[in-house]
Structure 1
């Protein structure tokens, strides 16, 4: 069973076809996210990604916002107002003639790496900040922790987003990431925390607790197969 896994991000849209075990069958393609990132503009880019990836039997899409039954409810790092209520799963299924499942992008990324024991958590660092929560391997969907208040009148996302990383520099941004991790631990008491997203590569592992694990951003694509389990 070949799955076309797509990750819609604030700066890039990626796609790859994988086999039933998550093994890549095609080369990953990344195209820039259009601006403004309206549904129509994003669908045009998705069409280009889909055409480049050859044959597949089903599609999984990770989306940066709240997703319920394939319908987008929020999209703060895209064209938010235009996406509210948009049936992305249905629209892509029409175009490809294959079954489609859509979920929050952080939720999908965690599905690829969790061990399925106790309470596990993931945060993604990229254009914004995503978060996902799992209990005994079961997903608690659409956490969207990044938009919760954190410090100095700012949300988690506003403190560690990519724009802030560029503005304040590597060292100060890493200090903020460690503050986020320190804040989350006594709230969720997770067994393990995974740090993913495009900016995970900028996270300094020195000083992180040993139960905090930095993961490869490819998990955001490869976790798409787990939507069908």
Structure 2
């Protein structure tokens, strides 16, 4: 298990001495990386982002060992918010298409509370990233372009539970075209074409006012973004963690 670095020890000391709490450990579980950052009471970072690779075989037990390593890097906090790449209901993970079947029905929230002795909330990762990006005005949507395709949509800042990535689109699903599988299968040029088509399709379907694109594969976008579309940094997947403690619907749905 990883030991805290001198830098992380200095961060923890600064947090305990100077920062208005409660301090949230925000965790983002991804298909390629596990990330964590400390946030103050209003959601501002008070540490550097820590990252370790997602295990090659991302079973629930293997990922938990990785999360324990992140916990050791940032050991001083009051509560935990976790973004998970799948459907989450009441702290239990019910799908993880880009991780491992062992996650189905896994009590992630309770397991982390037992391990870390802190209150924990778990929600869909795109839902949390959206909270880190949205303005709270009108209809706003986020789509994450990574190992798979995540999404969430908000009305006046309130989450509307949905799962678009596996919805039928063209011959397959959205994720088959604009997730990593689609990028590998069709190549960058056609993938960009499909991403642009997805933007227009979701605009026509959901009538969003603003669309935010997140995830590591946004750096492969090579077209001019349409009006109302913005690329957001990967850190928004952590920065939305404080909202998990404000919005009760997140702990009940995604």
Alignment TM class, shorter chain as reference: over 0.9
Unaligned runs of 5+ in 2: 1-21, 247-254
The question of whether the paired residues in 2 share the 8 Å contact of 1:200 and 1:217 is answered with no
Partner of 2:235: 218
Partner of 1:53: 74
Q: TM-score, normalised by structure 2?
A: 0.85
Partner of 1:190: 208
Give a deviation string over 1:161-206, Cα, whole Å, max 9, x none. 1233244333221111001111111110111111111212222351
- Match of residue 174, structure 1, among 192, 210, 230: 192
Give a deviation string over 1:28-55, Cα, whole Å, max 9, x none. 1111111321111110000001111130
Note the 1:100-119 alignment, pairs <5 A. 100-119=120-139
Matched residues in 1 for 2:182 and 2:158: separation?
33
Matched residues in 1 for 2:133 and 2:226: separation?
18
The question of whether the paired residues in 1 share the 8 Å contact of 2:175 and 2:182 is answered with no
1:75 correspondence with 2:96: yes
Matched residues in 1 for 2:141 and 2:180: separation?
21
SS, match of residue 147 in structure 2? coil
- Match of residue 220, structure 2, among 185, 197, 202: 202
- Larger CA Rg, structure 1 vs 2: 2
- Match of residue 147, structure 1, among 166, 171, 196: 166
Matched residues in 2 for 1:195 and 1:146: separation?
14
- Match of residue 25, structure 1, among 33, 37, 46: 46
Matched residues in 2 for 1:165 and 1:177: separation?
10
Question: Deviation at 1:21?
Answer: 2.5
SS, match of residue 134 in structure 1? strand
Partner of 2:13: none
Q: TM-score, normalised by structure 1?
A: 0.94
Note the aligned Cα RMSD (angstroms).
1.2
The question of whether the paired residues in 2 share the 8 Å contact of 1:205 and 1:214 is answered with no
